[in-house]
Copies of this chain bind each other. A is one copy, B any other.
Amino acid sequence: MTYCCGILVHDGLVMIADTRTNAGLDNISVFRKLHSFAVPGERAFAIASAGNLSVTQSVLSLLEEGLENPSGARETLMNAPTMFQAAQRVGRAIRHVNAQDGSALAAANLQFDVSLLLGGQIAGEPPHLYMVYAAGNFIECTTDTPYLQIGEHKYGKPVLDRAITFDMDLYDALKVGLVSVDSTMRSNLSVGMPIDVVVIRRDACAAELIHRIEPGEPYFADLRERWSAALRAAHANIPPVPYKSDARPAVRVEAREGARIT
């Protein structure tokens, strides 16, 4: 399993991904799922991937080598004129891999299973963040819900839902993203350290931060501990439960002892 999230706030883009892959419970490895591409000052991208590793690696290699278009030119991420066209090229690369490998995978009872987050900026337009599905179609992140997730997304969603706003500080967004990853790792063993992080500041068109958080790294360990303490403490600030039993079922207990009450 995998957990990746991308957060797009006014000041820029945060992308986070775990690195655990598994082929069964006894075949666990570390593979990078978060990749950065840049021509500093002109364009910067980060791509996070979930799904079958052979598929996601082939998609990335195609995006570097380029796919030939009808006029014979090679379309790569690096020569995409706009972020929208870059997302289209990611979708096309996925469809190309599906056309090549999909039927053989299906014959082996393997699903063609892939989803990618593409975030970044090309000079002259604002930053964008897309989620590209296995069919090659995609959606774009908006200010209403300024984040997208792929992989094991449920455990880490409640904190994003409540704490992420489009106007928040870029590194506060990274902090909340790391909390979201921590929530996921705590509950799903198949999401694991190290954690890769990329931060692309608006209009820099370059990655401001490219970092791998290794197991045992002190800041992340402290963040995990503080977050756990905050979750444990939060209910202490909620007043005691004031509920009394509802009248109707209580009456029914006395009337028909041993029967279903409610």
Contacts and interface: CB of A to CB of B under 8 A. Distances in A.
Interface of A: 32, 34-40, 60, 64, 78, 154-155, 157-159, 161-163, 171-172, 174-176, 178-179, 183, 186-187, 196-198, 206-213, 219, 222-223, 226-228, 230-235, 237-246, 249-250, 253, 257-262
28 contacts: A34-B262, A35-B261, A36-B249, A37-B260, A38-B261, A39-B257, A64-B259, A154-B155, A155-B158, A157-B187, A158-B158, A158-B187, A162-B186, A162-B231, A172-B235, A175-B240, A196-B262, A206-B253, A210-B261, A211-B243, A211-B246, A219-B241, A219-B243, A222-B239, A226-B234, A226-B237, A230-B230, A231-B234
Q: Which 9 A/B pairs are nearest by Cβ-Cβ distance?
A: A154-B154, A230-B234, A36-B261, A211-B243, A162-B231, A158-B183, A39-B258, A210-B249, A210-B245
A218 to B, nearest CB: 9
Contacts of A208: 245
Nearest to A230: B234
A162 to B, nearest CB: 4
Contact of A243 (B197, B230, B261): B197
> Could you say which of A212, A240, A243 has the most chain B C-beta atoms within 10 Å of its C-beta?
A243
B155 A258 contact: no
Nearest to A212: B246
Given A187-B157, A207-B245, A260-B37, A240 B163 contact: no
A13 to B, nearest CB: 15
A37 to B, nearest CB: 5
B175 A161 contact: no
B226 A238 contact: yes
Contacts of A242: 219
A159 B197 CA distance: 25
Contact of A262 (B78, B176, B210, B237): B210
B237 A230 contact: yes
Contact of A176 (B161, B212, B235): B235
A78 to B, nearest CB: 5
A202 B42 CA distance: 67
Given A207-B245, A211-B243, A243-B197, A260 B158 contact: no
A194 B258 CA distance: 26
A43 to B, nearest CB: 9
Nearest to A250: B210
